[in-house]
Structure 1
Amino acid sequence: MKEPIVIHTDEDYERAQRRVAELNAAADSPAKERELAALAEAMLAFELRLDDAEE
């Protein structure tokens, strides 16, 4: 099993956004959908941590 995607920095977040754009341009496949879901989850977790830090 592959390791989970974790975003720690703004640079990681930007890299994830670029990867999402790459995947959206690629042909549909189960692997693509799994990676998109993992990226979305990691990006959301990062955004929530930022929100918590601001409060």
Structure 2
Amino acid sequence: MPSMEEIEMDRRRKALDKDVAHLVDKYLRGMEWNIPDVDESRARQMILGEIRQALGRIESQS
């Protein structure tokens, strides 16, 4: 049987996905503003890599 935390996370998963996608788009728009001919696919991968590193830093602080 799932825990209360797992049930609550299930309810919030779509919102979390949407928030992360919005965060990637936010930083991509900033890159596009500064680099007009930016390689969008490469930029997205770089942004996602930085988000992963940020998650690692946050996890290590816990």
**Structure-2-length-normalised TM-score:** 0.42
> Which structure has more RCO (C-alpha within 8 Å, separation ≥ 6)?
1
Larger helix share, 1 or 2: 2
